Structure 1
Amino acid sequence: MMSRRDPVKRLNVALLLVAFVLSLFAGRLVQLQGIESKGYAQAAVAQRLNQGPVPAIRGPITFAQGQPLAMTVDAKLIFADPVMVPADQRTRIAAALGPMFHLDQSSIVNKLKPRSANDQYVELAHNVEPDRARMITAMDFKGIGTKPEYHRVYPGGDLASNVAGFVRDDGDGGAGLESSMNTMLKGKSGYQKVELSETGQRIPMGEDEQNKPTPGKGIRLTLDRDIQWKAQDAIAKQVKATGAQSGSVIVMDPRNGQVVAMATAPGFDPSTYYKAKPADLGDRVVQDTFEPGSTSKVVTAAAAMEAGGVTPSTPFTVPDQLKRYDRTFHDSETHPPERLTFGGVLAKSSNIGTIKASETVTPAQLYQYMRAFGYGEKTGISLPGESAGLLKPVSQWWGTDRYSIAFGQSVSVTALQTASVYATIANGGVRVAPNVIAGTTDDKGTLTPAAKPATRRVIKQSTASELTRMLEGVTTKDGTAPNAQISGYRVAGKTGTAQKVNPKTGLYTGGGYTSTFVGFAPADRPQLVVEVVLQKPQKGYYGGEVSAPVFKDVMSFALQSRRIPPTGSKSPKIRIYADHR
């Protein structure tokens, strides 16, 4: 039996115990540094590794001459690693960032609380100016970092905003071409993996893996910046002057269907789109529908002339009212019976004369011409939310529909559809599909032209020429729009003053008016079409009074801007009254 007083034996036992413990440590070290070292090293790197998307540069949108409408600039994204943010610093960080970026502080605090050990990335603020981002970095908050991204800016403010649209905070387009062409403009994001220290700083010589983003393509528009500005300024002023609910102006080149200007009022600033009314964020030119009224009479005229044997000099006896079945139709003003030529019917915009001319064709023929001019179908322009309007098939025309449709009621159109009708006449009867995109550009600015727009012949060239002469009569002192005359130029066009249906009663009484003028110049060599539409003007409502002056203003500017001279020819005399020579 070992003696408790034997120190050598006790020392040997102690040494054996120490050796045993040391062998356990040594074995563990061998396991960690040898057998399992690779796995632990990978786990350590993974813990330090930060992976995030690298956004692509969004392609620009430019005017026809290359000036920027929408462009992308450098910005910073403020992000946090909730796992790294000390719990006692959350309130302090929120108090600093909240006022700076107009963010709710309680929301920031909530984002800084980790949901799990892997909750290492949360975005706090987008589109931060680089200088402001440097201020955040200087605050040296643990777990708060910045990384590059891009910010969309619109140098012209609200100029052509209804066409361009806007980009939401999530980086996707929310309206206009930014929305409909989002995938192409946005490009394809890449990603980057970097090692960060526990303070959130990048580790030199650490792992760095990148997948470069693919830049988005740009869009070159057909819009002329100066003419767009003039159209937008003119319609905004007239909406205010007349107390109208809204208004729009379209300028088109009838030869190629290119939209030179497309303006609406009220508009919005894409940089602060969230402050605008929802109704102002779209493009009324392609989205809003209305009964065209008298501007649609040219379609009836084309049908009557080509299928009904009517000519500009065909006489009609025109009273101020006419009964068909159980409905009595009226002209806009009372008058004794008149003997008008068909040219006079169009010049004076007589509903009754138009009805009589329409009776020379069948409902099916009238419908066929309306479809050929583009009623009841989308134009195919690249803007989102385009409406096809409403043109019921002939099988659904009841009772007196054929008569009201003949002068522009019981059918609805968009402003762009109406502009296209007159562009077709101006182009000798050939319809060219309206288009607003001239082509696309790559990241080096190289332009790839867009495909040529679709074309189709709608009416004979001779019919288009006769209609043009008749439309010139509208702008004479005997017509409804002498206010559309432009000194030195021959102008052809048509007024429209259409009653709007009162949504409360379903009747035309009390619904207000759609006031329109659409025309082209020079009439004998058309190069530009301008349409002006005002919805519910309160101070005057006849198209010749409130819309024609805007047409004159915009068309005069556009002709001068494009250096289009007068042709020097004289307008032919239009016989208005059948008994006058």
Structure 2
Amino acid sequence: MANRRNRRTRLALVFCGVVTLALIVQLLRVTVLAQPSYANLAQQEAQTTVTLPGLRGSIIARNGEVLAMSELRDTIIADPLLIKHPATEAVTLAKLLGLASAQVRHALSVPGGYSVVAQLVTRSTGSKIESMALDGELPGINVEPGQARYYPAGSLAEPVVGRVGANDNGLFGLEYQYQKLLAGRNGYEIQRTASGNLPLPNAVVKRQPPIQGKSLKLTIDPALQAYAEQAVAGEIEKTNAIGGTAVVMDVATGQILAMVSLTAPPLPGAKPLANGGQPVDVQRALPTESWTNQAVAYAYEPGSVAKIATFTAALQDHLITPTSSEVVPGRLVIDGSVFHDAEPHPTEVLSMGQILAQSSNVGTIEIARRLGPARLLASFERFGWGEPTGLAFPGETQGLMKPVSQWSPTAIGSTPIGQDQLVTPLQVLDSYNAIANGGVMVTPKLVLGTVGSRGHLHAFASPAPRRIVPANIDAEMIHLLSGVTGANATAPDAQIPGYLVAGKTGTSQKPLHTQAGYQMGAYWGTFVGMVPAQHPVLSAIVMLDQPVPIYGGMTAAPVFSQIMRYALARYGVTPSGSIESSMLPRVSRSVASRSRE
């Protein structure tokens, strides 16, 4: 009996010992062995990550004026599940945000745990709201840092500068082209927080600073850009055109000083007049910035400005001289198609200068037929027609120059006079700028380079200039083109008092979109030129879409004159071609100067 009682006691003691040991092991596991993991979990639960926005770089004009910039802004976020008194909080927030209290109360009362109260709030206001939220005055309110893009010059040069979307990604223009350079990189802070997400003293555990995007410095002159936009807009309204484009270039450097793209779409149902444009009594919208940069994205049949290719090639191959003459019939029939001049005339003898000054299609075609398709096409290609300009602008087209194997039987008549081809206004200007630059082609440029945090310019490299026309032929071409702005020529309205202007007009009919042939009464009017002709400093092109009257010499040429008068005065360009102003810094005049020796 005693032995049995002792056995039970021992078993009970063993059981109690085992249980006690198990409890001790479990206690050690929970309190000692698991301490690091629990401490890690506790630390994670008491930390929060705060985004530090990396500002997008600015876009700056050549004179330092800011065209696009980003600023830090806050977004006010509410968690309605944590807000017990939305009416009271709404009154307080509304005063801080300058909003209607009813609007704020609605944002605080929506179902769910997330509601945007206000966006693009200044950092000072955001900081006040954040402090009040941390102090418990505005429970359920959070502040998220961010940034906003601003365009201090408004819509000035919008097709060039571009715009960004809600996520700060470039949508078009330079904002899109240079997205990787402009975009900033966000940083972050990891902070220790107490109950209620309140930051503790010395709360920053880790910090990765944000990186600001690089800023771009452009070649655009805001004052000239604004003046050119006004001039083109005025002519669009005056001629009832549906759009207009203008580009002004520094001859020696290829820097684009102004690039205008405006549109004035007609009202739905408005029909064009027989001679182009829209009825003057139709209520039209005022010209606005185009959705696209028409100077590079709009390819058109340019008309007689294309005659530069025929004349330079014929001069270079000694088929003509500046003083030679050509028998010009009233009309030509090529494979059943009739080619004629703008004004009817009998067979006559015209000098080379008269053929260009009067823009004789028949005279140009006769020269081109002696030149032949292969040499004519090679001349266009030397001028860069049908090839990328090197600007690499988003949406830019290289146009179309058909190979000789695809020429129709009538192409030898249509191609020399600016039909059967597609070219952009910038490509046309590039070719005439090469003539202005002594026969040397320079790549057009819109961006000078990036600007560092200390304001230093890191210039982008430019392709080397290349000669495309011999210097002596170039001088002969400038002499011939100077006659185009004479009193009895096609563009006397391009004249500038005290300066000699050289250039060319173009008037071309718009083709049908869905079938062969041309639109009745729809034309483009173009003038492209350089000034002063003796030693060109500036070149420019103006193109109007469906103006009335239709002729480039009557519509585009006056705008060229108006813009160039302003530019010449602004940059202090004398009639001899010297520059008396520091507003147009030059890389070098040596290339152009040597080319005329």
TM-score normalised by length of structure 2: 0.81
- What letter matches 1:129 in structure 2? T
Seen in structure 2, the aligned counterparts of structure 1 residues 202 and 568 have a Cα distance that, compared at 3 Å, is closer
Q: Given that residues 490 and 505 in structure 2 are in contact (C-alpha distance below 8 angstroms), is that contact kept between their aligned partners in structure 1?
A: yes
Query: Which residue in the other structure is 1:11 paired with?
Result: none
Q: Does 1:244 align with 2:254?
A: no
Q: CA offsets per residue over residues 442-465 of structure 1, 9 Å max, x none? A: 122111122133321111111111
For the residues of structure 2 that align with 1:364 and 1:460, how far apart are their CA atoms? Answer: 19
1:69-80 alignment, distance < 5 Å: 69-79=67-77
- What letter matches 1:487 in structure 2? P
Query: Which residue in the other structure is 1:5 paired with?
Result: none
Q: Does 1:154 align with 2:164?
A: no
Query: Which residue in the other structure is 2:126 paired with?
Result: 133
Instruction: Tell me the secondary structure at the aligned position of residue 366 of structure 2.
Output: helix
Seen in structure 2, the aligned counterparts of structure 1 residues 324 and 188 have a Cα distance that, compared at 3 Å, is same
Q: Given that residues 501 and 511 in structure 1 are in contact (C-alpha distance below 8 angstroms), is that contact kept between their aligned partners in structure 2?
A: no
1:473 counterpart (480, 483, 489): 483
- What letter matches 1:65 in structure 2? N
Instruction: Tell me the secondary structure at the aligned position of residue 391 of structure 1.
Output: coil
Q: CA offsets per residue over residues 191-247 of structure 1, 9 Å max, x none? A: 222234453433333353211122211111111222112111211222222222111
Seen in structure 2, the aligned counterparts of structure 1 residues 544 and 325 have a Cα distance that, compared at 3 Å, is same
For the residues of structure 2 that align with 1:300 and 1:393, how far apart are their CA atoms? Answer: 16
Structure 2, gaps ≥5 residues long: 1-17, 265-285, 579-597
1:487 Cα deviation after fit: 0.4
Seen in structure 2, the aligned counterparts of structure 1 residues 87 and 456 have a Cα distance that, compared at 3 Å, is same
Q: Given that residues 163 and 176 in structure 1 are in contact (C-alpha distance below 8 angstroms), is that contact kept between their aligned partners in structure 2?
A: yes
Seen in structure 2, the aligned counterparts of structure 1 residues 85 and 438 have a Cα distance that, compared at 3 Å, is same
For the residues of structure 2 that align with 1:414 and 1:161, how far apart are their CA atoms? Answer: 19
1:319 Cα deviation after fit: 2.9
Q: CA offsets per residue over residues 306-327 of structure 1, 9 Å max, x none? A: 1352122221222332101121
Q: Given that residues 375 and 389 in structure 1 are in contact (C-alpha distance below 8 angstroms), is that contact kept between their aligned partners in structure 2?
A: yes
For the residues of structure 2 that align with 1:172 and 1:85, how far apart are their CA atoms? Answer: 33
1:360 Cα deviation after fit: 1.7
How many residues are treated as equivalent by the alignment?
Answer: 536
Seen in structure 2, the aligned counterparts of structure 1 residues 460 and 195 have a Cα distance that, compared at 3 Å, is same
Q: Does 1:500 align with 2:498?
A: no
2:563 counterpart (536, 550, 554): 554
1:382 Cα deviation after fit: 4.3
Q: CA offsets per residue over residues 242-293 of structure 1, 9 Å max, x none? A: 22211111110111111111122149xxxxxxxx999933211111111111
Query: Which residue in the other structure is 2:378 paired with?
Result: 368
1:67 counterpart (54, 60, 65): 65
Query: Which residue in the other structure is 2:572 paired with?
Result: 563
Query: Which residue in the other structure is 1:380 paired with?
Result: 390
Query: Which residue in the other structure is 1:339 paired with?
Result: 349
Query: Which residue in the other structure is 2:405 paired with?
Result: 395
Q: CA offsets per residue over residues 2-25 of structure 1, 9 Å max, x none? A: xxxxxxxxxxxxxxxxxx999999
Q: CA offsets per residue over residues 534-578 of structure 1, 9 Å max, x none? A: 1122x3221111111110110000000000111299xxxxxxxxx
Instruction: Tell me the secondary structure at the aligned position of residue 206 of structure 1.
Output: strand
Q: CA offsets per residue over residues 110-136 of structure 1, 9 Å max, x none? A: 89548xxxxxxx987653333553575
Seen in structure 2, the aligned counterparts of structure 1 residues 125 and 424 have a Cα distance that, compared at 3 Å, is farther
Instruction: Tell me the secondary structure at the aligned position of residue 202 of structure 1.
Output: strand
Seen in structure 2, the aligned counterparts of structure 1 residues 465 and 413 have a Cα distance that, compared at 3 Å, is same
For the residues of structure 1 that align with 2:476 and 2:104, how far apart are their CA atoms? Answer: 66
Please give the root-mean-square deviation of Cα atoms over the aligned residues, in Å: 3.7
1:293-312 alignment, distance < 5 Å: 293-307=303-317, 309-312=319-322
1:327 counterpart (333, 337, 344): 337
1:533 Cα deviation after fit: 0.9
1:468 Cα deviation after fit: 0.8
Seen in structure 2, the aligned counterparts of structure 1 residues 35 and 298 have a Cα distance that, compared at 3 Å, is same
Query: Which residue in the other structure is 1:573 paired with?
Result: none
Give the stretch that moved more between structures: 550-559 or 85-94.
85-94
Seen in structure 2, the aligned counterparts of structure 1 residues 133 and 545 have a Cα distance that, compared at 3 Å, is same
For the residues of structure 1 that align with 2:145 and 2:434, how far apart are their CA atoms? Answer: 50
Query: Which residue in the other structure is 1:426 paired with?
Result: 436
Instruction: Tell me the secondary structure at the aligned position of residue 204 of structure 1.
Output: strand
For the residues of structure 2 that align with 1:105 and 1:75, how far apart are their CA atoms? Answer: 22
- What letter matches 1:560 in structure 2? A
1:190-201 alignment, distance < 5 Å: 190-201=187-198
For the residues of structure 2 that align with 1:415 and 1:531, how far apart are their CA atoms? Answer: 7
Give the stretch that moved more between structures: 387-396 or 135-144.
135-144
Instruction: Tell me the secondary structure at the aligned position of residue 42 of structure 2.
Output: helix
Q: CA offsets per residue over residues 415-467 of structure 1, 9 Å max, x none? A: 11111011000011110011111121112211112213332111111111111
Query: Which residue in the other structure is 1:412 paired with?
Result: 422
For the residues of structure 2 that align with 1:445 and 1:178, how far apart are their CA atoms? Answer: 20
Q: CA offsets per residue over residues 378-414 of structure 1, 9 Å max, x none? A: 1111421111011111111121112211100011111
Q: CA offsets per residue over residues 157-208 of structure 1, 9 Å max, x none? A: 1122222111211011111111100111113322222234453433333353
Q: CA offsets per residue over residues 318-358 of structure 1, 9 Å max, x none? A: 23321011211122222222221121111111111111110
- What letter matches 1:500 in structure 2? K
Seen in structure 2, the aligned counterparts of structure 1 residues 136 and 467 have a Cα distance that, compared at 3 Å, is same
Seen in structure 2, the aligned counterparts of structure 1 residues 310 and 123 have a Cα distance that, compared at 3 Å, is farther
For the residues of structure 1 that align with 2:435 and 2:105, how far apart are their CA atoms? Answer: 61
Q: Does 1:214 align with 2:211?
A: yes
Give the stretch that moved more between structures: 253-262 or 238-247.
238-247
Q: Given that residues 59 and 443 in structure 1 are in contact (C-alpha distance below 8 angstroms), is that contact kept between their aligned partners in structure 2?
A: no
For the residues of structure 1 that align with 2:170 and 2:402, how far apart are their CA atoms? Answer: 34
Q: Given that residues 156 and 226 in structure 2 are in contact (C-alpha distance below 8 angstroms), is that contact kept between their aligned partners in structure 1?
A: yes
Query: Which residue in the other structure is 1:544 paired with?
Result: 553
Give the stretch that moved more between structures: 324-333 or 196-205.
196-205
For the residues of structure 1 that align with 2:111 and 2:381, how far apart are their CA atoms? Answer: 56
Instruction: Tell me the secondary structure at the aligned position of residue 360 of structure 1.
Output: helix
Q: Given that residues 480 and 495 in structure 1 are in contact (C-alpha distance below 8 angstroms), is that contact kept between their aligned partners in structure 2?
A: yes
1:41 Cα deviation after fit: 2.6
Structure 1, gaps ≥5 residues long: 1-19, 115-121, 268-275, 570-581
- What letter matches 1:227 in structure 2? L
TM-score normalised by length of structure 1: 0.83
1:452-491 alignment, distance < 5 Å: 452-491=462-501
For the residues of structure 2 that align with 1:568 and 1:451, how far apart are their CA atoms? Answer: 27
